[in-house]
């Protein structure tokens, strides 16, 4: 029996009630990148390839910075369980501070990404288009990281529905702005990839304004922006301590994806375009897994905060069962109707359309394995973060992705006839290694139990 007496069914209901709006908001957030990819693919294969590189770079830097924002979630959840509004305010404010500082440090990489890409032997035309995008969309890193802090703050208090609706409205606005600015509709100039970048920036500003307005009006007792300019070094250190391993863990994983995109660029523009489409499809579905993982983090944090080992493990079992069910459905979809998904991203009149689709079909088969590996590892990470266990998982991820995933992808992609399939096989190998190590740490070693507070009597 758990401390709160919750059965598997009650755990499932509580998890689903939180996970559905969180997964929905993740999907709505992913729709921004999905819309960019589709519309840039309709514009030209070259802009699509540049968009793939740009999104890979931006996402890599974004997930590094969002480590501090994600640290806010378990810490606010624990403070909310203890009914401590002052601690909630302190943690959230310092999460905002750290996010802004991180964005300022990362901005130069986006501004001068062309010479970096050329050093990595990317096509000069594609590198130039990528920099055009990044010099505009790069500014959206500031509001994007602040959005993540507000999302963590609200999700930790199980106010996920508002996150969903505001993100959906932002996604609709982004799609409309993309259509108008990329193709030059309603009297606006045809801006191509620059139009997609402007749309991304406007979307992030809109979502930030919505979440900030709701947080200040709905939860005035937290006074989030009260004395915002004053440092709180104790809370700053707490968020930093928990957040930097999360950021580096996500850097290791996103760096794996960025490295894969760069290797695809070495193989050719068509391979890079096919990779971008397949990755966009699988990452869109993966947003549901992230939503489940975030819900698992919140539920685990609440059980962890009261020393409820049985409840934490029972909730973890439910979370994994839901994740595996989704993985099975996704694998069937990717293996049975890959072409129906791929054709959505290309103009019917694109001369290279058939070649890109042919390359993409093989990648979608690998994407099925990708879902199994990535879905299980992200759930294990979410539960471990709920237990405030972040440093050792960071090391496990770095070893899996960079000592196994990247070398395996390079060897299989360039030293065997597998080419683009081999690059993805290395990606999947790294994810499976991370999944095994993280699952073992959560279920078998259970080092997080050493940090548990005593359970209430």
Q: Mean pLDDT, to the nearest integer, of 59-74?
A: 85
What residue has token string 């996150």?
A: 163
Of 301-305, 371-375, 419-423, the one with minimum mean pLDDT is: 301-305
Looking at per-residue pLDDT, the higher value among 188 and 139 belongs to 139
238 in any annotated domain: yes
What per-residue confidence (pLDDT) applies to 5?
55
pTM above threshold 0.85: no
Average pLDDT, the chain: 84
1 in any annotated domain: no
Which of 262, 300, 305, 296 is closest to 377 using CA atoms? 296
Residue 31: C-alpha distances to residues 38, 107, 445 (Å): 10, 24, 38
The b/e string for 393-428 (b: 16+ C-beta within 10 A; e otherwise) is bbebbbbbbbebbbebbbebbeeeebbbbbbbbbbb
Domain range for 65 is 8-451
404 in any annotated domain: yes
Q: How many independent structural domains does the chain possess?
A: 1
3-state secondary structure the chain: CCCCCCCHHHHHHHHHHHHHHHHHHHHHHHHHHHHHHHHHHHHCHHHHHHHHHHHHHHHHHHHHHHHHHHHHHHHHHHHHHCCCHHHHHHHHHHHHHHHHHHHHHHHHHHHCHHHHHHHCCCCHHHHHHHHHHHHHHHHHHHHHHHHHHHHHHHHHCCCHHHHHHHHHHHHHHHHHHHHHHHHCCCCCCCCCHHHHHHHHHHHHHHHHHHHHHHHHHHCHHHCCCCCCCCCCHHHHHHHHHHHHHHHHHHHHHHHHHHHHHHHHHHHCHHHHHHHHHHHHHHHHHHHHHHHHHHHHHHHHHHHHHCCCHHHHHHHHHHHHHHHHHHHHHHHHHHHHCHHHHHHHHCCCCCCCHHHHHHHHHHHHHHHHHHHHHHHHHHHHHHHHHHCCCCHHHHHHHHHHHHHHHHHHHHHHHHCCCCCHHHHHHHHHHHHHHHHHHHHHHHHHHCHHHHHCCCCCC
**pLDDT grade, residue 13 (50/70/90)?**
confident
Q: Would the pLDDT of 415 be above 90?
A: yes
The b/e string for 42-60 (b: 16+ C-beta within 10 A; e otherwise) is bbbbbbbbbbbbbbbbbbb
**Angle, vertex CA 322, rays to CA 401 and CA 72, nearest 5:** 60
Contact 225, 90 (CB under 8 A): no
Of 187-191, 342-346, 349-353, 453-457, the one with minimum mean pLDDT is: 453-457
What per-residue confidence (pLDDT) applies to 2?
41
**Distance, CA of 213 to chain centre:** 24
Burial category of 316 from C-beta neighbours within 10 Å (exposed 0-12, middle 13-18, buried 19 and up): buried
Q: Would the pLDDT of 457 be above 70?
A: no
Burial category of 95 from C-beta neighbours within 10 Å (exposed 0-12, middle 13-18, buried 19 and up): buried
The b/e string for 9-31 (b: 16+ C-beta within 10 A; e otherwise) is eebbebbeebbbbbbbbbbbbbb
Q: pLDDT tens across 215-240, in order?
A: 988 888 887 887 778 888 888 999 99
457 in any annotated domain: no
Looking at per-residue pLDDT, the higher value among 100 and 34 belongs to 100
What residue has token string 């440093």?
A: 391
CB neighbours of residue 357 within 10 Å: 18
**Distance, CA of 249 to chain centre:** 12
171 in any annotated domain: yes
Residue 52: C-alpha distances to residues 246, 288, 333, 412, 447 (Å): 24, 21, 23, 22, 39
Looking at per-residue pLDDT, the higher value among 1 and 257 belongs to 257
Q: Would the pLDDT of 3 be above 50?
A: no
Q: pLDDT tens across 78-109, in order?
A: 787 777 888 888 899 999 999 999 999 998 88
27 in any annotated domain: yes
339 in any annotated domain: yes
110 in any annotated domain: yes
């Amino acid at each position: 029996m758990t401390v709160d007496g919750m059965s598997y069914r009650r755990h499932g209901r509580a998890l689903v009630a939180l996970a559905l709006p969180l997964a929905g908001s993740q999907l709505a957030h992913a729709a921004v990148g999905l819309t960019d990819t589709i519309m840039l693919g309709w514009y030209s294969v070259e802009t699509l390839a540049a968009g793939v590189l740009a999104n890979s770079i931006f996402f890599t830097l974004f997930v590094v910075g969002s480590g501090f924002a994600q640290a806010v979630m378990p810490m606010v959840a624990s403070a909310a369980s203890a009914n401590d509004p002052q601690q909630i305010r302190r943690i959230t404010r310092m999460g905002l501070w750290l996010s802004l500082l991180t964005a300022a440090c990362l901005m130069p990489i986006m501004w001068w990404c062309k010479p970096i890409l050329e050093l990595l032997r990317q096509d000069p035309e594609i590198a130039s288009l990528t920099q055009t995008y990044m010099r505009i969309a790069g500014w959206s890193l500031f509001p994007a990281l602040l959005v993540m802090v507000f999302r963590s703050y609200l999700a930790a208090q199980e106010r996920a529905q508002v996150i969903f609706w505001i993100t959906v409205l932002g996604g609709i606005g982004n799609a409309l702005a993309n259509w108008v600015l990329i193709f030059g509709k309603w009297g606006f100039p045809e801006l191509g990839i620059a139009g997609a970048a402007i749309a991304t920036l406007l979307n992030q500003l809109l979502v930030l304004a919505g979440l900030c307005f709701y947080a200040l009006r709905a939860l005035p007792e937290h006074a989030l922006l009260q004395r915002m300019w004053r440092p709180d070094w104790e809370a700053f250190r707490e968020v930093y301590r928990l957040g930097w391993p999360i950021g580096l863990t996500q850097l290791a994983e996103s760096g794996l994806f960025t490295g894969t995109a760069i290797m695809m660029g070495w193989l050719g523009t068509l391979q890079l375009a096919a990779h971008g489409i397949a990755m966009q499809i699988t990452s869109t579905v993966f947003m549901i897994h992230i939503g489940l993982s975030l819900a698992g983090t919140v539920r685990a944090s609440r059980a962890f905060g009261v020393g409820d080992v049985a409840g934490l493990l029972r909730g973890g079992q439910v979370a994994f069962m839901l994740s595996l069910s989704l993985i099975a459905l996704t694998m069937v979809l990717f293996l049975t109707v890959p072409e129906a998904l791929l054709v959505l991203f290309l103009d019917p009149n694109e001369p290279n359309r058939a070649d890109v689709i042919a390359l993409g079909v093989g990648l979608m088969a690998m994407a099925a394995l990708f879902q199994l590996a990535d879905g299980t590892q992200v759930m294990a990470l979410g539960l471990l973060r709920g237990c405030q266990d972040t440093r050792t998982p960071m090391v496990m991820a770095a070893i899996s992705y960079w000592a196994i995933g990247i070398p395996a992808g390079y060897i299989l992609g360039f030293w065997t006839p597998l080419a683009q399939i081999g690059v993805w096989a290395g990606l999947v190998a790294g994810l499976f290694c991370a999944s095994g190590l993280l699952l073992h740490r959560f279920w078998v070693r259970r080092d997080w139990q050493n940090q548990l507070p005593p359970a209430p009597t």
